[in-house]
Amino acid sequence: MSLRKIVIYPADALKEKASDVSEIDGAVVKLAEDMAETMYAAPGIGLAAPQVGESKRIIVLDVPIDDDRTTGLIKLANPVLVESEGEVEHEEGCLSLPGLYEVVRRKAKVLVKGIDLSTEREVEIEADGLFAIALQHEIDHLDGVLFIDRLSPMKRKFALKRYRKILKEKEKEL
């Protein structure tokens, strides 16, 4: 396994729709392992392949459920949101927009289908709370959608202004 460089907004790779994974091979499995290592090192709770410059429909997640438990590492290829219900607002951040956090409206409960890269079998995942939010966030990345794209135009404008300020401050630190 090895760490990958996380692609930072406004990189074009973050705006493109990722390609389906047609075959689970060693390269796909290694990519998912590298993504998991990168996610943990960042640290984050989810990462999509476009965030490491790979246009593949692969996501990895390990989401806190409570103080003592997480979902455990989940590696999915070709995840699809099948059903959803309810609405919830939650503050989100993104490894590709470091330092920026905004409240985003998402579906409260979701059913996602995909191929579990640990077993190479199709799975269905029912999720709510932060787990549902993280699944939606990462699947959005596969479609070239960022959490800031879910904000109203005015909120998005102000968020991007703050983000540019955050980037300038980080440049000064270097």
Strands in 102-116's sheet, in edge-to-edge order, are 46-48, 58-61, 74-92, 102-116, 121-128
SS3 label, residue 72: coil
In angstroms, what is the C-alpha Rg of the chain?
16
| Active-site position among 138, 169, 171, 173 | 138
Q: How far apart are CA 18 and CA 78, in angstroms?
A: 10
Q: How far apart are CA 125 and CA 94, in angstroms?
A: 22
Residue 94 has which token pair? 């993104």
List Cα–Cα distances, 26 to 35, 56, 68, in angstroms: 14, 14, 33
Nearest to 131 by CA among 85, 77, 72, 58: 72
Tokens 């799975």 -> residue: 123
The question of whether 138 is a catalytic residue gets the answer yes
Active site residues: 138
